[in-house]
Chain A
Amino acid sequence: MTQPLVDRHDVELAALAAAGGRREFGELVRRHGSAVRALLRRMGAQPSLADDVAQDAFIQAFQRCGEFRGEGTFAAWVKRIAARLYIKRVAKEARYVAEIENEDTAPATDHAGLVDLDEALKALSEPERLCVSLCHGAGMAHPEIASALNLPLGTVKSHVKRGLDKLRARLQPEPAQTMGRIQHVG
């Protein structure tokens, strides 16, 4: 009796997908589709663009599934593909060089009092938001981001630092309380 897809590990599903298994890949899309779409929205993409880029990223991931060796997580691998595709799109529009500042520093929590990252990210300028998301959401190193965005390394570092400072000001977490909540949710 074959193991149901839902019980299979990502690495196993990716190996089957690399051999042409579309059903197995569909399971991976079901598991990680929302995470990839959410990352793209956090990077500043409009929902429809985020969905288009996420779709392209998954198609590309399917074609390159043989390259996934399971060194990191499958989700992280697809997120990086998606992030790079999004950068290509925004690079054409040069959106990330625009400085849009929003100095609203009200704490970003949702109705349940949980930390709302999406709300807090709105306080960041587009370049800060993009750099912070690439660094902490897609797991890209600063030099990698600088190369992908064609920006000086120092600029990327200062975008990340300023972005994190703004996030810290807005999130204002109470360490013990917040960490406990994250563990429950995550």
Chain B
Amino acid sequence: MSADEFDPFVERLFARSPTMPDAPLFTARVEQQLQKGSRVRFLALSLAGLVGGVVAVRETMQVDLDLAPRQGVVAGDALGQGIQSASVSVQSGVQSVLDQAGLGNLELGSMGGMQLFWIAAGALIVVAAAGVMKLSQEI
């Protein structure tokens, strides 16, 4: 057999592959791995979203909800006070969550509120993206 005939002959031999006896097990392992990967990704994204949400709520409460004293309109006072008291209660709730997480002493208020919010959001997005990329590589 010449080389011209032998090369395709070898290619055909390579194309013939026996079905492995444990093929179903292998398929199940791959499917399980895919399932696990998507669960981990879902959890990582949910966690990042949750942390980002908590920080966003905290910052929003600190920045926007002290409107009432600046507004001299009498009709707005009641509304302002209502919002302010709601903000205080939400803020204290968020603060207690942060305290439990050991993050209660963070001095975030010294910076501009919105500025800090965007910095925190940006950092979280970067961390979440890096985490997702790392997980994707590991899976």
Tell whether A pairs with B: yes
Q: Which residues of A are interface residues toward B (Cβ below 8 A)?
A: 22, 25-26, 29-30, 33-35, 37-39, 42, 51, 54-55, 58-59, 62-63, 115, 117, 132-133, 136-137, 164, 167-168, 171, 173, 175, 178-179, 182, 185-186
Whether B35 contacts A22 by the Cβ 8 Å rule is yes
* A contact residues around B10 at 8 Å (CB): 117, 132, 136, 164, 167
* A contact residues around B29 at 8 Å (CB): 55
* A contact residues around B14 at 8 Å (CB): 39, 42, 117, 133, 136-137
Name B's interface SS: helix
Q: Which residues of B are interface residues toward A (Cβ below 8 A)?
A: 1, 3, 5-7, 9-20, 23-24, 26-27, 29-31, 33-35, 37-38, 136, 139
Whether B27 contacts A30 by the Cβ 8 Å rule is yes
* B contact residues around A179 at 8 Å (CB): 9
In angstroms, how far is the closest chain A Cβ from the Cβ of B113? 39
Whether B26 contacts A54 by the Cβ 8 Å rule is yes
* B contact residues around A164 at 8 Å (CB): 3, 6-7, 10
* B contact residues around A115 at 8 Å (CB): 13
Selected from A34, A35, A173, the residue in CB contact (under 8 A) with B9 is: A173
- Known A-B contacts A39-B14, A175-B1; A59 and B7 likewise in contact (beta carbons under 8 Å): no
